[in-house]
Structure 1
Amino acid sequence: MAHSVATLLFILSSVGPAFGVVYLQIGTNYTLQPKITGKPQNILWKFKGTKVVEYENNNYYWYKDYESRGQLDILSGNLELKNLRKDDTGLYQSEIQVDGRLHNSDHNIEVMGPVFGVVSCRTGTNYTLQPKITGKPQNILWKFKGTKVVEYENNNYYWYKDYESRGQLDIQSGNLELKNLRKDDTGLYQSEIQVDGRLHNSDHNIEVMGPVFGVVYLQTGTNYTLQPKITGKPQNILWKFKGSKMVEYGNSNLDWYKDYESRGKLDIQSGDLTLKNLRKDDTGLYQSEIQVDGRLHFSDHNIEVMDGISQPKVSCQDEVTLTCSVDPGVQAEFEWTGPDGFEATGERLNISQVIISKIDSVFFCTAKNKVSESRTSFILKDCYKDAGHYCK
């Protein structure tokens, strides 16, 4: 029974703190701190289960290349790692004996290259990815979504897929220029560049978009033409609305989807798409993908369809408030004008006693939204059944 208790106590003393993941940049230094109390007699650090350094009987034992870029503090058990690399990412574990008791700790670090923010580019333009290294590269590797783009090694270039025809690698800086950007170039680009025996990594995100036209406000029942503004004669045309196909043209065939054929018209010479008899549910994002001379062109168009405004109506409330209204469900803003340069905004207008005394005053209410406006007039005396008790 005593043996079982002793075993249990040893197990409990062997379980140390587990620290959260620490994110670090390539080339920096970091110190792993087990945070023990007392002077260690024996120290062991491991990385992914493999020994890094061992201290025992006043002797150090370093493994792999850690001695050249590591430093062990035998008074605290701290392990400093210098010039961090991506392959230093993972779990570090310490086993440290103090006063006959074994202390354990787990440390997770993730080492990353410089991470550049998302850069937005237009289709058809060029963009240069810049890893911003110092020194002349010996080896260069660029990847896109984990797949090789270009490799430079022993003075030889190796291009993959179609990147050689539209890419340019600067072997002095490691910069990679991408030409004639397409929408499918959107994503993560990563560099691995060796300079003076050290590996440098960087991550770059780009998003490639077609020309983005501002929101166009349109009235229900009207027609509107979406114009991608391309140059040249299209071979293939695709229009989508909220990601779903509307119309497709290719090999001299025209394919319409849903009810768009009955109220749409496609100009195969320009790629323009006309929408007829617009409805509120036509509001949203329209996208074109048009191939001209083997190159794909994209464009994004946002429209918002709303009802126009019929003539507003003015009514009286409690003889001192005028209310201007339009048909239910119609978006509108209201402006008032009146005698002596009077101006006000809002659906309701509170009339002062001074103005009430001018019983023949005429007020105008203008209701408007982004597609139309309408105005009506109102004579103040219409608020009163008997206006005779007012002095003019």
Structure 2
Amino acid sequence: MGPRFQNDDRARLYRDMYEQHGPLAPVVLPGDVPCWLVLGYRELHQVTSDPVLFSRDSGLWNQWPNIPADWPLLPMVGKQPSILYTVGERHHRRATLVSDALAAVDPFELRNHAERFADQLIDGICGRGSADLIAEYAKVLPALVLAQLYGFSDEAGAALVPDINALVDGDADALPGSERVRAAITSLLASRREAPAAGVASRMLHHDFSDDFSFEEIVEDMMVNIVAGHQPTADWIGNSLRLMLTDDRFAASLSGGRHSVAEAMNEVLWEDTPSQNIAGRWATRDTQLAGRHVAAGDLLMLSFAAANGDPQVRPDRSAFTGGNSAFLSFGHGEHRCPYPAQDIAEGIARTGIEVLLDRLPDVDLAVSRQALVWRPSPFLRGLASLPVRFSPTPTSTAGGYR
């Protein structure tokens, strides 16, 4: 949580750790809780490919006797009833239920929703000539689209946005915000159980495997998917816009130059991936990894960001990655982000960026690049704000519809 971790030097910090410790570094979490940080690309691939040796079951942790009830990382590491900590065949069936429900999202419907909400948000700022693209755009658009896809009305989805962001930010409204999001999801699922309709919620409830899980478990998984789908997508939008506004390789793309939005988004997943460090995996027995002794019950924190910059894989980080999509930003193995969820996140982010650049073609930073501040999170990578200026323009036609 030091200054190097909270600014643009984070990539260099990962490399310094790699040079000092190799691909597996001993670190401490708040409260001097020991943990391994997996820095190496191949080592992270190995850990996530072996769920028998490196389990997602946090109940295996050998540090539980030393963890106080108010430990700040319990929401990220603690025992939870969601799909994130389910293992074995039960996880396979639960993941299939979620993936199938998401896979049925029509990509044209997804783009239409994303365009519509993007236009509405831009209508709210386009006449001013300035805006914060994080607070007023990136942190709103994914939640609106996801709520619509799951089955919420426009009004209900809009009401969820501040609560979802409060939950993710961990501020004073996090707990009541979480309770309100859970209550809204529970109400929606209860209504869909009685009267099925279009949307992911109905498909989750009426899947062939839905009888294997309680109503409460489906509520939990729907909450995980909305919250986990929103913030990384918001950061993907913000980080991509930052790259396009500050990097000379992408400056031309703002006016239709040689590097496209898709290329900028791909570059961000290598250089500033929204999901940086994820807890985690727990060793089921004593083992060796990267020449180090890992004891049964040890926690391994997965550093997707460090693995993407592994000097054994990317010796020259200044080289443009082009269309290489071998990044580990969505995880790997049976607990990786479901492929349909990745497609949905990409659809929302790409549409959001394209609509913004179409509507505000001369958008530019309102501050220096050095003045941009990253949120203080060890797990996610995103800007606290992105102040921009642009020529004021009229609102779109048809009340925000493209």
TM-score normalized by the length of structure 1:
0.19
* Structure with greater Cα Rg: 1
In proportion to residue count, which structure has more helix? 2
In terms of fraction of residues, the more strand-rich structure is: 1
Higher relative contact order (CA 8 A, sep 6+): 2
